[in-house]
Amino acid sequence: MLSIAIVSPGPGCGKTTTLVNLAVGLRRRGWRVLIAASENNELLRKWIVPESYETSSIMHITLSVVTLDLLVLGEDKDLIIDTWQDDYDYLLIDAGDNVDNLCHEAEKAEQVIACVQVGDEGEGISLLNNLLATARGVTPGIDLVVPGKVDPGEWEKTSQHLEELAEEFGEERVADMIPFCEAIHDLPSLKICVWDLPREYSNRKQAFNSLVDKVLHMTR
Q: Is 139 helix (H, G, I), strand (E, B) or coil?
A: coil
**CA–CA distances in Å: residue 146 to residues 53, 56, 90, 113, 175:** 30, 29, 18, 7, 5
Q: Mean of the pLDDT values across residues 182-201? A: 95
Q: Is the pLDDT confidence value at 119 over 80?
A: no
Q: Is the pLDDT confidence value at 5 over 70?
A: yes
**Exposed e or buried b for every residue in 36-46, given b needs 16+ CB within 10 A?**
bbbeebebbbe
Confidence (pLDDT) at 75: 67
- Alpha-carbon distance 111 to 107, whole Å? 9
Show me where the domains of the chain are located.
2-212
Considering the four listed CATH numbers 3.40.50.300, 1.20.1090.10, 1.10.3720.10, 3.30.1360.70, the one that applies to the domain covering 2-212 is: 3.40.50.300
The residue type found at 210 is: S
Confidence (pLDDT) at 92: 97
Q: Mean of the pLDDT values across residues 131-144? A: 94
pLDDT interval class at 35 (50, 70, 90): very high
Percent with pLDDT over 90 in the chain: 61
Confidence (pLDDT) at 112: 97
Task: Using alpha carbons, select from 87, 86, 104, 82 the residue that is nearest to residue 95.
Answer: 104
- Alpha-carbon distance 4 to 110, whole Å? 6
Confidence (pLDDT) at 76: 65
pTM of the model: 0.93
Backbone angles phi, psi at 180, to 5 degrees: -85, 135
Q: Mean of the pLDDT values across residues 95-117? A: 88
